[in-house]
């Protein structure tokens, strides 16, 4: 029985397993989504939750602890400056796992592990229909003004011509 035994061994020695998850965690934080097997993805979830919770503390000691685990200054900076502030209102559950089918070679179940903020960043870039319509109107408005300017020029020309015509009509009367 496995009562009260946390984590998965994944048929690897302890050091190999720890280094593998450190590398996967670094890749997850750097790219915000990775593709892996389902068992590795489920185990990676707990590693990611712990490091993001550490990132939310935002102390010097927390930064040093994160660097001791991740060993990449750029990823640590991204964790504390970008990822953790986006997660400040969440109590946990910082990752999402999608099942993607089976691997061709050995039939292992594959999954896509991504940070919860990954899809929300894409939604921020999308514009609402109202904003799109306003932008289209702004693009169209200068063209109409340009056309109106041409119309005004034509009217001015016609006004110049009309007095001549009136003078010719006055001559005929």
Tell me the CATH class for 14-125: alpha beta
State the pLDDT confidence band at 120, using cuts at 50, 70 and 90: very low
Task: Note the Cα 150 to chain centre separation in Å.
Answer: 44
Mean pLDDT score of the chain, rounded to an integer? Answer: 85
pLDDT in tens, 38-68: 999 999 999 999 999 999 999 999 999 999 9
Instruction: Give how far Cα 31 sits from Cα of 28, 63, 70, 111, 153, Å.
Output: 5, 20, 14, 15, 57
Domain-wise residue ranges, the chain? 14-125, 127-173
Considering only residues 132 and 57, tell me which one the structure prediction assigns the higher pLDDT.
57
Q: Is the pTM of this model over 0.75?
A: no
- 90-97: average pLDDT: 95
Q: Of 29-38, 43-52, 141-150, which range is least confident? A: 141-150
């Amino acid at each position: 029985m496995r009562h009260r035994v946390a984590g998965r061994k994944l048929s690897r020695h302890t050091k190999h397993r720890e280094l593998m998850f450190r590398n996967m965690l670094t890749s997850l934080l750097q790219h915000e989504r990775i593709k892996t097997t389902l068992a590795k993805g489920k185990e990676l979830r707990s590693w990611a939750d712990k490091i993001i919770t550490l990132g939310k503390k935002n102390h010097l000691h927390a930064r040093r602890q994160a660097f001791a685990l991740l060993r990449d200054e750029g990823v640590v900076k991204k964790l504390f400056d970008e990822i953790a502030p986006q997660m400040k209102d969440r109590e946990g559950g910082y990752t999402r796992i999608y099942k993607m089918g089976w691997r061709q070679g050995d039939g292992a179940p594959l999954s896509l592990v991504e940070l919860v903020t990954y899809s929300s960043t894409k939604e921020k870039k999308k514009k609402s229909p109202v904003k799109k319509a306003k932008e289209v109107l702004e693009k169209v408005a200068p063209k109409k003004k340009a056309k109106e300017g041409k119309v005004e020029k034509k009217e001015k020309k016609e006004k110049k011509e009309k007095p001549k015509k009136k003078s010719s009509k006055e001559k005929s009367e």
